[in-house]
Structure 1
């Protein structure tokens, strides 16, 4: 039952069938990250999950995702679930579903050092242990049992038992703490409805700097050995500038009550937009004086991940074939925000230098692909997470904004966030909002441009000038 090396890739067909059958209401996730004596557990951790969900056609069968080292217990509506044939790449089969269901899974899961799931790092300088999660695209199943696809959103209530000297962050704000002599349990507030891949947990003896802005609790986190280099004042300044600009121009307040930004070790990408708990590569903590263009690139990355809180967490696309739009919008919006809200008024030069020039080179090499590409399964989608999808797609959106007009573009975005808050969409939903806001038909653009890969059949509506 060892999950090492297992990559259980969900197919588009299986995801659509499951989404058509069930609606997930809530998760309660309880993690024990200690060894029973108040110290960090070493290879595995205990994960208990209660999932409440409804079924549109009672009596049918589905599956729940989990990559477990050992399963202790699985029950559905109080009855035992057979899991003797469980395999990590298949999940646990659950049969004879009722209209309303409570599924409980108690299992041991493995820490990783691959950048997937719950990553474990030991600081070579002081020997301290640091944990952080990375779930995109479907690796939440490596920390708790779940229906691991973006269009099955739910609320999450997370609690974690950790050593007494650790700090812990998750998507919800810390509610209360229960302390024992050897450990403590952190209880987090229940989140808004979010996708499993956007959930998170960070734990360890992190150095934390906190402040507040516009009713939002802000936090900056890093390893203690890096704390002398954390330029909190500058980072908070960029953060508040971004929050203010997006609130004004997106027409919707920040959807969560806190915003933590964590700089974590061995991170395999620049950043990840976990809802209200964003992670960044440690290279953005500068240990010495650096050229201003590096500060600009860092600001750009911060603002890009922040844009995802609206376009990605508040409203998430239904499936990964449209993930180009998720990343492209954040890339475009970050440059727009940077140009208008920060001291880097030449933000589009940063965009060209940081990402667009890389696309010109990448498009001359194999494998090249359009910004929008089909995703028959999660593996295909992950292969296409690259600079072409993000930067080339952002260039397409900038062209689209010029075509309909910037104010009409932002007006459509405001309409889109209000209509689809806490839901899932396709490209078609955004195009409809753009047509409504601008009064221009986008049928030809959708056929000739990246929209040709959208799963929905595009039907040109009547648009009057």
Structure 2
């Protein structure tokens, strides 16, 4: 990836010199069915504050023309390293025309081209964040050089073309040329083009005396599964809630949601034309947790139409604010909007998003929420748990600190003041200070400009009668991980303390106290003189961002009654605390397994249940003492089968337990059951063995040597779709033979022909936790190939390999030594690559410590 970087200093200098007025972009996609390249013609009009030189960005195989102010530039002289040099700008108005051949991609970056095996038709979509509009047209590729964009697209007959502006009526399309009206002033990275014979459903949102056209698109092969009514319902809920909270009209002329194939992320907030991974069009039965996750994604992208698209960060160091705001408001909408299907959304947030944040914040790469972004390489690896989940957690804390009404009043001021412009964090904080009356300077410095996580512990003294004599909250700031920058920091926290007692076998909250915690010790006078409850839960309602520990008496009660909380959020907070203790080696894996097995049968929240499934399997695979691991896995697998048989027929819990069992079945009898469910000779009352569950069963059978190429090919024939092709790639790579592993390695590492989604599937199948010995020789191969992969592949493709094929399962000092040796001899490697390797190394180091703690628990 040489020659594609851009530094913040370069961007600042370009923004100082230039303001951009408009882009006219003509794309000829008439040859898209065959692939290769497409003709791109860009005319950009911009002003220079003074005569000088600058550059425009373009990633393209060929530049045919570059004409600046009527003067032809020699492409051979001015085009290099993804830039066209502009050597002689005029003060005032300038016009540049660039004619180039740009390339279709299969990496999910730029203009991605996908051929559906069902109808053999090509489907295109763009993905431009962070710096990939330049793969489709010449652009000043930075968020603060906003402009209007007018697209003219020539497409094959029978296609539909969608962009940020309203789609032309068919009567307006002459000679297969689609002419779009100019957009408002937006950043290049949120422009979009989606083209192909897509299926569509149309509706509208009515409100505030206005009708906004809504549309949903997907490939025709998925149309039978598109539950458009449910998607429109969530979308309208978001429009209603955001219009009320933001008090600013929806800023674009229409709102399209396009479910597109082989998408790398969850979704992308292109202005008025949101792209979403089409795995969210569910082909088979899924649990309600999947619908909740999809709804959060839909609401997240809708929130971006205001925060991110209408008002945009000046530079990528405020990426966190963009993503955190969308995350916070999407969860808040689910939790608080009238008639919401998911009022327990903060439970899901606590159990999934925040555990991601806690994990990220304990890596050597931890960084302040407001990260130092020196260049594009920095931002590409910063789409992480701190940017999204920690940032959203801190915004939730900020809302508790200033008040929800005051928070949204500040947001309203921010939108009106900065509409269609670019901002910094200080602009939002200024607005919030005005509406709340709070001075946020110290808060911002402590929370946004420092790295690391705090731990909150209760210190309770009682008298002989069980009355609380003294209650203190102790705050700790553990040392940052080795290699991390910064110093441990004690922070101000707004928390609630929940008091719980047993009532008829259930844990019921009897009182709640909300207060500010600051410094090392905070005395809680309000609890003195009260009878000590069975459980004291710090950070009840999950207002703040901190690791929470229980006192000994509370822990003893929770260990016996974790599933007995009447509300889902306190259960989730206790589950998350137990998981964090397991990762930290404070709770042995075998004890974590016992805790889960004692409480999970009482857990009603399906999202929490599925999270526990993943965490138990991860703990057993990585954190259990090797000598006990198989015992723990056997116990867990038996429990999954028992719960599968006991679950209500047709329920979400039944499906979740079926998938958990399929992921870990190991004995001949258990594998026989999988095979029987697959061929229909075995049944479980109410369990629909549909397309996706069939693949889950087959992939496990393949990994255990019970399904060969013939069986995989037969299943692919049954499901001859792109999803089927991905599953088949996973199953083939999962087979426990040296030949299967060599073939998968050759596909993903030694060749660069796989599309992004298929490469990801091959990697997923290659890494099997039951095949450590078979995979051991690939540690050396990984480090030998890594740098070359990074330098020759696109970022997304190289990152898949760097993370996915790191020898995570080889939990040993030898793996740490091999990693350290690579880091020593690869000091010239990209900082982004070194960060990914260092993060993976930290996972092995943590696993070694957890395994030692688990072994010690047995002695």
Q: Would you call these one fold, judging by a TM-score over 0.5?
A: yes
Which runs of no fewer than 5 residues in structure 2 stay unpaired? 452-859
TM-score, normalised via structure 2 length: 0.51
Rounded Cα–Cα distance in structure 2 between residues aligned with 1:407 and 1:184? 50
Distance 1:327 1:153 in 2: 19
Contact 1:26 1:53 (8 Å CA) reproduced: yes
- Which of 416, 435, 450 is the matching residue for 2:448? 450
CA distance in 2, matches of 1:382, 1:245: 32
Does 1:161 find its partner at 2:154? yes
CA deviation after TM superposition for structure 1 residue 345, in Å: 1.1
Match of 1:63 in 2: 55
Aligned twin of 1:94? 86
Which residue pairs with 2:130 in the alignment?
137
Cα distance in structure 1, aligned partners of 2:26 and 2:183: 15
Shift of 1:373: 1.1
Give TM-score, length-normalised by structure 1.
0.92
How far does the alpha carbon of each residue in 1:72-102 deviate from its partner, in whole angstroms, 9 at most, with x for none?
A: 1111111112321344524111122121011
The residue that corresponds to 2:392 in the other structure is: 394
State the partner residue of 2:225.
Answer: 229
**Contact (CA 8 Å) 2:64, 2:75: kept in 1 or not?**
no
- Asked whether 1:373 is paired with 2:366, we answer no
Task: Describe how 1:20-419 pairs up with structure 2 within 5 A.
Answer: 20-35=16-31, 40-57=33-50, 59-98=51-90, 99-175=92-168, 179=173, 184-214=176-206, 215-341=211-337, 342-419=340-417
CA offsets, 1:349-372, max 9 Å, x none?
Answer: 122233112222333444333322
Alpha-carbon separation, structure 2, partners of 1:353 and 1:164:
48
Determine the structure 2 residue equivalent to 1:456.
Answer: none
CA-CA distance at 1:174 after TM superposition: 2.0
Indicate how the Cα distance of structure 1 residues 452 and 361 shifts in structure 2: closer, same or farther if over 3 A, else same.
closer
Where 2:76 maps in the other structure, the secondary structure is coil
Distance 1:452 1:421, change over 3 A: farther
| Secondary structure of 1:307's aligned partner | helix
The 2-side partners of 1:19 and 1:276 are apart by 26
* Equivalent-residue separation in structure 1 for 2:407 and 2:10 (angstroms): 35
Structure 2: distance between partners of 1:172 and 1:451: 38
CA contact (8 A) 1:50 1:104 kept: yes
Name the SS for the 1:174 alignment partner: coil
Offset of residue 6 of structure 1: 5.3
- The 1:331/1:88 distance shift into structure 2, 3 A limit, reads farther
Distance 1:74 1:65 in 2: 12
Contact 1:427 1:451 in 2 (8 A): no
The corresponding residue for 2:419 is: 421
Could you tell which deviates more after superposition, 90-99 or 228-237? 90-99
Residue correspondences, number: 443
Distance 1:176 1:48, change over 3 A: farther
Q: 1:103-145 CA distances to partner (integer Å, 9 max, x unpaired)?
A: 1111110011111100111112221101110010111000000
Deviates more, 1:149-158 or 1:76-85: 76-85
Task: Tell me which residue corresponds to 1:433.
Answer: 431
Kindly report structure 1 stretches of 4+ aligned residues shifted beyond 4 Å. Answer: 176-180
Deviations 1:9-63 (A, max 9, x none): 110000000000000011111100013xxx6352000111110111111x20000
Q: Secondary structure at the match of 1:95?
A: strand
Alpha-carbon deviation of 1:70?
1.1
Q: Deviations over 1:242-279 (max 9, x none)?
A: 01111111010110011111111111111111111111
Could you say what the CA RMSD is over the residues aligned between the two structures, in angstroms? 1.6
Q: 1:412 to 1:451 in 2, by over 3 A?
A: farther
- Rounded Cα–Cα distance in structure 2 between residues aligned with 1:260 and 1:385: 24
Which residue matches 1:463? none
Relative contact order (alpha carbons < 8 A, sep ≥ 6): 1 or 2 greater?
1
What secondary structure, in the 3-state scheme, does the structure 2 residue paired with 1:84 have? helix
For residues 238 and 306 of structure 2, the distance between their equivalents in structure 1, rounded to whole angstroms, comes to: 12
CA distance in 2, matches of 1:390, 1:358: 9
Match of 1:14 in 2: 10
Cα distance, 1:211 vs structure 2: 1.1
Report the Cα offset of residue 176 of structure 1: 5.1
- Take 1:76 and 1:249, find their aligned partners in 2: how far apart are those partners? 46
Aligned to 1:460: none
| Secondary structure, counterpart of 1:73 in structure 2 | strand
Q: Does 368-377 or 350-359 show the bigger shift?
A: 350-359
Counterpart CA distance in 1 for 2:189 and 2:16 is: 19
Distance in structure 1 (CA, Å) of the matches to 2:173 and 2:150: 19
1:187-234 per-residue CA deviation (whole Å, 9 max, x = no partner) reads 112111100000010001111111122211111111111110000000
8 Å CA contact 2:60, 2:82 repeated in 1: no
2:79–2:85 CA contact under 8 A, matched in 1: no
8 Å contact kept, 1:34–1:41: no
Q: Secondary structure at the match of 1:449?
A: helix
User: Counterparts of 1:170 and 1:7 in 2: how far apart (Å)?
Assistant: 29
Deviations 1:138-168 (A, max 9, x none): 1100000010100000011111100111111
| CA positional deviation for 1:378 | 0.8
Residues 51 and 119 of structure 1: is their aligned pair in 2 closer, same or farther, counting only changes over 3 Å? same
